[in-house]
Structure 1
């Protein structure tokens, strides 16, 4: 449909809106896709971390007296289960599934807690995983989903 010229002295016509977002930060909208990739990759790494803990109980250094001490096999299963859920959720976010966004926030929070407790075993990786989780939560909560028009 062609636009007609405005009446003389009237307001100029507004161009058709091509942005389907309801607002929000461009960093957050790109971050939501990146959050899906991060959840997927973090999940794959957690699965590998879990397999290593399950297969060989001596892969990670034993911690002395620690409040949240579990056997390394138990930690392996915890990381394996969380990792599989993160992979599925990350794939869902990349496909644009609405359920995956909410589940992604919850699983990222669970991953933050698990990695905080895992801190004495793998301190550098645990801090990196906590930072990834914080970014994922921020980007999924600040991004506005696309609206159907």
Structure 2
């Protein structure tokens, strides 16, 4: 009984699907990063747009919160550019920044609930897409 010593290679179809999944995650991260960037600008420019929630445990100055959203959105856009170039560092940082943005959007649910929940879903998909695809050789 002999066993083959050749390394297992993924099929071309599986590699194409994995590459497509990463590109979709990159596009989603780019779009969601732009949306967070714009949300940060809205909070900095005019925080009267946001709903006031007097009994929420996590209370923030909305101008400061706007700067946080702005910075995280810019980082997400930069990381998405790295993902479009298939950089390994971008996959690692992409998971991290998407996780931070999930936390940021969770904390801002009382101010913009539908928007926050939508972006949480986007970032959760980005994390899934970047973690499920095997590392390229």
Residue number in structure 2 paired with 1:76: 66
Structure with the higher fraction of residues in helix conformation:
2
Q: Which has the greater radius of gyration?
A: 1
Alignment length, in residue pairs?
Answer: 129
Q: How does 1:118-133 map to 2 (within 5 A)?
A: 118-133=108-123
TM superposition outliers: structure 1 runs of 4+ over 6 Å? none
How far did residue 142 of structure 1 move? 0.8
Residues in 2 aligned to 1:25 and 1:67: alpha-carbon distance in whole angstroms: 46
Residue number in structure 1 paired with 2:78: 88
TM-score in terms of structure 2 length:
0.85
Aligned partner of 1:46 among 36, 41, 44: 36
Residues in 1 aligned to 2:67 and 2:133: alpha-carbon distance in whole angstroms: 32
Residues in 1 aligned to 2:115 and 2:100: alpha-carbon distance in whole angstroms: 16
Q: How does 1:4-43 map to 2 (within 5 A)?
A: 19=11, 26=17, 28-43=18-33
Residue number in structure 2 paired with 1:143: 133
Residues in 2 aligned to 1:25 and 1:138: alpha-carbon distance in whole angstroms: 17
Residue number in structure 1 paired with 2:56: 66
Residue number in structure 2 paired with 1:115: 105
Gaps of 5+ in 2: 1-8
Gaps of 5+ in 1: 1-16
TM-score in terms of structure 1 length:
0.79
How far did residue 30 of structure 1 move? 2.1
Residues in 1 aligned to 2:105 and 2:28: alpha-carbon distance in whole angstroms: 15
Q: C-alpha root-mean-square deviation of aligned residues, in Å?
A: 2.2
Residue number in structure 1 paired with 2:94: 104
